[in-house]
Structure 1
């Protein structure tokens, strides 16, 4: 039975299509996973452009997506949700209301005879020290308490404003910079040095679909890409991981040089 992985839906932000239409695409993809007999579904961070849970309030919208999560878990298929840098303030709402399992740190899972390291990817590896300092502040209980004192209307507008500014300041997400400049590659190399039995290192955050064979010759770093432009995901079946692109109703393999998407160093 296949296991599916996706990340970086960024619901709440318009891009190639509107957030509402992308939400519908994600729901159709989730239906596809169920029809394919999914053993589990992993949603690896930045599902929302911004998320915060006040005591009695949650962000408006996303009812199709949240309802689909509840429908799938109610039917017995487990869904694992990871917090990302855009929705790191998830707490107990999704687990309580939709039945998902929430992870706030990378995890190692044994699946289909393979050992997988799974996480969103923000703040990992060398560099990005400004974000790492900011994340320490944002994940502090006192910072969340202070933010919760803001009226939700103001809090959401502020968060979405700074989220858009942050996206505009990011480097190109269409180019692989090489193992020396890709922080998640460096992080994966360090992890396989500590644990050579890791088969797959699966992350999001980078916004570029990547399939990269690591220096030990057997482990692979797989980046799930995003749904703002690429609509990519990963299927694990019989221990074989394959990056695919969701074309609204069908799955399309990604090959080196294809557009959109990028697969590199898979066989070398």
Structure 2
């Protein structure tokens, strides 16, 4: 028995190889798991649940096939797909989780999240995040014509690319003190997140106890999957996207 965790696939119509790799996982590996958790940025940018395009419908159908077969699928919104909402959940059978969620994984309490809010040095991004997560602003956005949403997101994409090019790698990594604060708040010894594109398993001590932080990798050049087993063993697996 095992559970799968993935994040930062950044699926987009311009990368059919990533879509094919995702579909392969959903059709061949995920059905063998007890559950699948997606910790944000499944999409490079999600414009809205009303997206009528073939790409969006294909991804929705892929999820629906998995959840209808009996495998539960959980979704934590990321910084690129925070607009995934209730309609997406209804149409796919995916269960949306809070941005930080404490789960019971085979008897072990674990906190899962996308990871963007751990990066306290990335001040400009956190200011942007606070703005776009305002309920009134999202209420207005949801009611815009889809074509207008496309233009808005296109502009945001350009701004994000430019902003990212001007940042140091250190700014875009997590702040250890915030990691420790969150783990203490949720009273857990393990955290799983994505966002930083730095797959690794970190061990450290806090209040005399060993803690573990597992960072999921992105899917730009290789598939990154965390496989967590019932006996509390786990593997962070990588393989080329083309396989």
**TM-score bracket for this pair, using the shorter chain length:** 0.7 to 0.9
Q: Structure 1's 194 and 81: CA in aligned 2 closer, same or farther, altered over 3 A? A: closer
Change (3 A) 1:108 1:172: farther
Change (3 A) 1:240 1:69: same
Alignment of structure 1 residues 62-211 onto 2, 5 Å: 62-170=56-164, 177=170, 182-194=173-185, 198-211=188-201
The runs of at least 4 aligned residues of structure 1 exceeding 6 Å deviation read none
User: Residue 31 of structure 1 aligns with which residue?
Assistant: 27
Structure-2 residue corresponding to 1:12: 12
SS at match of 1:232: strand
Give the distance between the partners of 2:106 and 2:128, measured in 1 at CA.
37
C-alpha RMSD of matched pairs (Å) = 2.7
In proportion to residue count, which structure has more helix? 2
Instruction: Note if contact 2:121-2:172 (Cα within 8 Å) is conserved in structure 1.
Output: no
Counterpart for residue 205 of structure 2: 215
Normalising to structure 1: TM-score of the pair? Answer: 0.78
Aligned length: 239
Deviation at 1:164, TM superposition (A): 4.3
Q: Which runs of 5+ in 2 are unaligned?
A: none
> SS where residue 246 of structure 1 aligns?
strand
| Offset of residue 26 of structure 1 | 0.6
Residue 117 of structure 1: SS of its match in structure 2?
strand
Given that 1:11 and 1:62 are in contact with CA atoms closer than 8 Å, whether structure 2 keeps it comes out as no
**Aligned-partner SS, 2:120:** coil
How many Å separate the matches in 1 of 2:217 and 2:38? 12
Aligned to 2:232: 239
Q: 2:119, 2:10 → 1: CA distance? A: 23
> Contact (CA 8 Å) 1:46, 1:87: kept in 2 or not?
yes
Structure 1 unmatched runs, 5+: 251-268
Correspondence for 1:265 = none
Of residues 214-223 and 41-50 in structure 1, the stretch that sits farther from structure 2 once superposed is: 214-223
Conservation of the 8 A alpha-carbon contact between 1:185 and 1:221: no
Q: Given that residues 121 and 184 in structure 1 are in contact (C-alpha distance below 8 angstroms), is that contact kept between their aligned partners in structure 2?
A: no
